Amino acid sequence: MKYRRIKTLTKKQNRGLVKIEFNWDGEPPMPGQFFMLTLERLDIFLPRPFSVFDFQNGVLSFLIKPIGRFTNILMNTDTFNIMGPLGNPAPLFKSGIFIGGGIGVAPLHYHAKQTENFVFIAGSLTDDLRFFISDLEKRGRVIYTTEDGSYGVKGVVTEPLEEILKEEKNIPVFACGPVPMLKKVKEITGGRNTYLYMEQVMGCGTGGCKGCAIKTKDGYKMVCSDGPVFNAMEVLFE
Amino acid sequence: MNKLNVNIGGLELKNPLLLASGVWDTDSSVEIEVYGAVILKGVNLNGRKGNPPPRIYDIQCGVINSIGLENGGVDELNRKIEKIKGRTKLIANIFGSTVEEYKDVAERLKGIDGIEINVSCPNVKDSGIAFGRSPEYVEKIAALVKKVSNVPVFVKLTPDTDRLEDIALAAEKAGADAVVCANTYTGIVIDINTGKPILGGITGGVSGPCIKPLTVYRVWKLRRVLKIPIIASGGIASWQDVIEYIMAGADAVEIGSIIFRNLDAGTEIISGLNKYLEEKNIHHILDIRGGVHDG
Ligand SMILES: Cc1cc2nc3c(=O)[nH]c(=O)nc-3n(C[C@H](O)[C@H](O)[C@H](O)COP(=O)(O)OP(=O)(O)OC[C@H]3O[C@@H](n4cnc5c(N)ncnc54)[C@H](O)[C@@H]3O)c2cc1C
Ligand SMILES: Cc1cc2nc3c(=O)[nH]c(=O)nc-3n(C[C@H](O)[C@H](O)[C@H](O)COP(=O)(O)O)c2cc1C
Ligand code: FES
Q: Which atom of ligand 2 is nearest to the CA of B208?
A: 25
pLDDT band of residue B126 (cuts 50, 70, 90) is: low
Indicate yes or no: CB of A203 within 8 angstroms of CB of B54.
no
Per-residue pLDDT tens over the stretch B155-170: 999 999 999 999 999 9
Domains A4-86 and A95-197 share a fold: no
> Which ligand 3 atom is the nearest neighbour of the CA of A222?
4
pLDDT of B294 reads 47
The whole-angstrom separation of Cα B181 and Cα B251 is: 11
Give me ligand 1 centre to Cα A210, in Å: 18
List chain A domain ranges: 4-86, 95-197
What is the model's pLDDT at position A227?
95
A205 C-beta closer than 6 A to ligand 3: yes
Residue A48, judged by CB atoms within 10 A of its CB (0-12, 13-18, 19+), counts as: buried
CATH superfamily, region B6-48+68-185+208-294: Aldolase class I (3.20.20.70)
Rounded mean pLDDT of B71-76?
Answer: 97
Please tell me the predicted confidence (pLDDT) of residue A54: 98
**What is the reported pTM?**
0.96
Count of residues for chain B?
295
| Burial zone of A140 (CB within 10 Å; 0-12 exposed, 13-18 middle, 19+ buried) | middle
Atom 29 in ligand 2: residue holding the nearest Cα: B22
Which one, of B211, B262, B236, lies nearest residue A38 by Cα? B262
Which pLDDT score is estimated for A169? 80
Question: Residue B127 — very low, low, confident or very high, per pLDDT cuts 50/70/90?
Answer: low
Pairing relationship of beta strands A153-154 and A141-146 according to DSSP bridges? parallel
For A16, left (φ over 0), alpha (ψ -120 to 50), or beta? left
CB distance from A67 to chain B under 8 Å? Answer: no
Q: B265 at the A interface (CB within 8 A)?
A: no
**Mean of pLDDT over chain B:** 95
User: Does residue B52 carry a pLDDT above 80?
Assistant: yes
Whether B125 shows a pLDDT value over 80: the answer reads no
CB-ligand 3 contact for A202 (6 Å cutoff): yes
**Amino acid symbol at B246:** I
Rg over alpha carbons for chain B, rounded to the nearest Å, is: 18
* pLDDT at residue B122, rounded to an integer: 73
**pLDDT computed for residue B1 by the predictor:** 63
**What percentage of chain B reaches a pLDDT higher than 90?**
92
Cα B13 to chain centroid distance, Å, stands at 16
For the domain A4-86, what is the CATH code? 2.40.30.10
Compare CB distances from B23 to A2, A208, A219 and report the shortest one's residue. A208
Give the residue among A66, A67, A65, A61 at the shortest CA–CA distance from A80: A61
| Residue A111 near ligand 1, beta carbon < 6 Å | no
* Phi (first) and psi of residue A141, to 5 degrees: -90, 125
Could you state, in order of their start, the residue ranges of all structural domains in chain B? Answer: 6-48+68-185+208-294
Report the residue from A2, A69, A220 with minimal CB separation from B263: A2
pLDDT in tens, chain A (238 residues): 889 999 999 999 999 999 999 999 999 999 999 999 999 999 999 999 999 999 999 999 999 999 999 999 998 999 999 999 999 999 999 999 999 999 999 999 999 999 999 999 999 999 999 999 999 999 999 999 999 999 999 999 999 999 899 888 889 999 999 999 999 999 999 999 999 999 999 999 999 999 999 999 999 999 999 999 999 999 999 7
- Reply yes or no on whether B181 is catalytic: no
Which ligand lies nearest the alpha carbon of B95?
Answer: 2
A95-197 is a CATH 3.40.50.80 domain? yes
**Predicted-complex ipTM score:** 0.94
- In this prediction, residue B29 carries a pLDDT of 83
Is the preceding omega at residue B178 within 30 degrees of 0, hence cis?
no
User: What pLDDT score does B291 carry?
Assistant: 55
Q: How far is A1 from chain B (nearest CA, A)?
A: 6
Lowest mean pLDDT among A71-80, B191-200, B235-244: A71-80
Residue B231 has pLDDT above 90, yes or no: yes
Count CA atoms closer than 13 A to A208's CA, side-chain side.
28
Distance from CA of A64 to the nearest CA of B (A): 19
Ligand 2 neighbourhood includes B152 CB (under 6 angstroms): no
